Amino acid sequence: TGFAARCSAWFSAVGAVAIPLAAFLFSALCSERSKRRLAERAAQEQLEASERHARLREEERRGRVRAELRLREVASGGAGGESGSQGDDGSSGGFVFHPIGHFKSCYRNRCGTPRQGGVVPDCLAVLQCDRDLNPVAALEGFAAFSHCWVLYVFHQNTNLQRECRTASRRKQTKGRVPLWQGLCMKVAPPRCPDLRVGVLACRTPHRPNPIGLSLARVV
């Protein structure tokens, strides 16, 4: 009888301790799950906000590029005349060249494009010639060469507004405004943010005459 009483008391004591301990562990487990869900939800919201912000910036960039292309078309359409003609202020009107095609590469953004073609020698690009050029006749014998020089224009530059303002002031003052006034002549290279160099001493596309030259391998 005494042994049974002691066993009963022992089981009662163990039960009294085990039940609160189990309740505590269950509560801690629920709290940990709740914290984990809150952390996952916060991370998901942050990811969605980042993606939404990236989409908005991309849409804004595309809209700005489209607007500047339209401004460039209007500006080039108003600057009539033949090649090498003289302007109203007596200065040379420059030369007018028409593109023979458009260059499309595998890179979609400017920031991800290599600074030189030799950095990624396996990347491919396509030069689509204008149909009015008669590409079949113009490119006959082109496949016999291993490389070619590609001369192109940075037609999606984002400094068009400054160029338009300078051209407008130059017309209003009949050429008394310098041709390149208002355009930035120094830039910070991507790998040297603390260094300022001239636009003609680096690879920046934002230069007075936005012309580029690349050596391409014919495949």
User: Looking at the chain, how many residues does it have?
Assistant: 219
**pLDDT tens, position by position, for the chain (219 residues)?**
554 555 555 556 555 656 666 677 777 788 788 888 888 888 888 888 888 888 888 888 787 777 777 776 766 654 444 444 444 444 455 677 788 988 888 887 777 777 777 788 888 888 888 888 888 898 899 999 999 998 988 887 777 666 666 666 666 666 566 666 667 788 888 777 788 999 888 888 888 888 888 888 888
Residues 6+ positions from 142 with CB-CB distance below 8 Å: 148, 218
> Encoding tokens for residue 111?
């920031």
**Tokens 């830039």 identify what position?**
187
Rounded Cα–Cα distance for residues 152 and 141 (Å): 22
Cβ pair 209, 151 in contact under 8 A? no
Taking the whole predicted model, whether its pTM rises above 0.85 is answered as: no
